[in-house]
Chains A and B, each alone.
Chain A
Amino acid sequence: NAGVTQTPKFRVLKTGQSMTLLCAQDMNHEYMYWYRQDPGMGLRLIHYSVGEGTTAKGEVPDGYNVSRLKKQNFLLGLESAAPSQTSVYFCASRAGLGADTQYFGPGTRLTVL
């Protein structure tokens, strides 16, 4: 049982490049979340999903897109990366109704030059 995994762990992009971050969970959780964490800013919710095939915007969705085609995977896409998207990205999952605890992945450190 690996829990929540994220791929890649590190990435450097040039401005304007695109990339996709993959989050996978093997706990059969319904809900999944993407956060970014910047120094002094804490965790901010980008997008989330309450089940396969559903997505919703969080606090800071601009510049990102997501997809949840399979229950176990939640993808975060950057279509045209900007230096302001340099951050650490965390994925999290939650079992579902009646379960409040979130389980986080190890994070992806992204630098946009």
Chain B
Amino acid sequence: RKEVEQDPGPFNVPEGATVAFNCTYSNSASQSFFWYRQDCRKEPKLLMSVYSSGNEDGRFTAQLNRASQYISLLIRDSKLSDSATYLCAVNKGSGGSYIPTFGRGTSLIVHP
């Protein structure tokens, strides 16, 4: 079983839709969690960190469920510009032993 798993999609949704992605991780020692956005042929860029209490940034909401070992990303009122691949990242350890592991990414296509 891969350490960090995501549904590759693609998720094909109309503008204005709400879409949710999940990401599961296998290592219970994981300490920090992130969502990155990657546009086609570009580098990943941090979208948001995921905090234990859940956090929101505009139309984006991230949640963490440690008991079930998954993180989620909810996008409300989807825009055409949200079309991209969304990568979840999980970090084990701390400080110098920090080892980041990425999921394979979930592709989102928002159509008019």
Measured CB to CB, the residues of A under 8 A from B are 31, 33, 35, 40-45, 48, 50-51, 58-59, 90, 94, 97, 100-107
Which of A31, A45, A58, A106 contacts B42 (CB under 8 A)? A106
Query: Shortest Cβ distance from B101 into chain A, in angstroms?
Result: 8
Q: Are B100 and A45 in contact (CB under 8 A)?
A: yes
B102 on interface, CB distance cutoff 8 Å: yes
Query: Shortest Cβ distance from A77 into chain B, in angstroms?
Result: 21
A52 CA to B8 CA in the complex, in Å? 37
A104 CA to B44 CA in the complex, in Å? 6
Identify the interface centre among B44, B46, B95, B101: most chain A CB within 10 Å of its CB: B44
Query: Shortest Cβ distance from A98 into chain B, in angstroms?
Result: 8
Report the nearest B residue to A59, measured CB to CB: B101
Q: Are B91 and A100 in contact (CB under 8 A)?
A: yes
Ordered by A's residue number, 20 sampled pairs between the chains whose C-beta atoms are within 8 Å are A33-B100, A35-B102, A41-B104, A42-B104, A43-B102, A48-B99, A90-B44, A97-B94, A100-B32, A100-B34, A100-B49, A101-B46, A102-B46, A102-B89, A102-B100, A104-B43, A104-B45, A106-B43, A107-B42, A107-B43
Task: Report the count of interface residues on B (CB-CB < 8 A).
Answer: 23
Given the interface contacts A104-B44, A105-B43, does A40 sit within 8 Å of B104 by beta carbon?
Answer: yes
Q: Which residues of B contact A33 (CB under 8 A)?
A: 100
Given the interface contacts A42-B105, A100-B91, A101-B49, does A31 sit within 8 Å of B43 by beta carbon?
Answer: no
A8 CA to B107 CA in the complex, in Å? 28
Report the nearest B residue to A43, measured CB to CB: B102
A102 CA to B99 CA in the complex, in Å? 11
Q: Which residues of B contact A50 (CB under 8 A)?
A: 96
Q: Are A43 and B34 in contact (CB under 8 A)?
A: no
Q: Which residues of A contact B96 (CB under 8 A)?
A: 50-51
Q: Which residues of B contact A35 (CB under 8 A)?
A: 102
Q: Which residues of B contact A97 (CB under 8 A)?
A: 94-95
Q: Which residues of B contact A45 (CB under 8 A)?
A: 99-101
B87 on interface, CB distance cutoff 8 Å: yes
Query: Shortest Cβ distance from B4 into chain A, in angstroms?
Result: 8
